Amino acid sequence: MINTIIARVSGASRYEFEGRKGGKVSIINEVDADNDNQIGMQNSDMSADFSIVDQIRNAGVELPCNLELDIELRMVRAGQNKQQTTSMHVIAARRPKGAGSAPASNAKPESAKA
């Protein structure tokens, strides 16, 4: 099943080793302010298709930024006991819909005309 999310992407990388290709997308989230056990930002990594680095480059964005990600929930075996768990795998990345270019930080708003 494919889900679409918007996430704050901080970076992406890819590898090619002995005929295997893959990638990784790193995201950052603010922690829940009501959770006394966390503070600041939380970092997470998701596996990704090899092409994800090119997709982010072609989106013409500067990281970190919010991106729309198509993710697939995958069942994987992990840990010492190779227990089955769910993993999120990024298959596509793009600018969020309706995300135009933001004005430069030194741009002045236009004054209202009467």
pLDDT tens string 15-72: 999 999 999 999 999 888 899 999 999 999 999 999 999 999 999 999 999 999 999 9
Question: pLDDT tier at 87 (50, 70, 90 boundaries)?
Answer: confident
Count of Cβ atoms closer than 10 Å to residue 59 Cβ: 15
CATH of the domain at 54: 2.40.50.140
| pTM of this structure | 0.75
Token digits of residue 48 = 């990704």
Q: Let me know if residue 69 belongs to a domain.
A: yes
Q: Let me know if residue 113 belongs to a domain.
A: no
Backbone dihedral angles phi then psi of residue 58, each to the nearest 5 degrees? -70, -20
Q: Let me know if residue 101 belongs to a domain.
A: no
Q: Let me know if residue 24 belongs to a domain.
A: yes
Our count of domains for the chain comes to 1
- Displacement of CA 16 from its chain's centroid (Å): 21
Domain with 52, as residue range(s), is 2-31+40-94
Q: Which residue has the tokens 């950052």?
A: 28
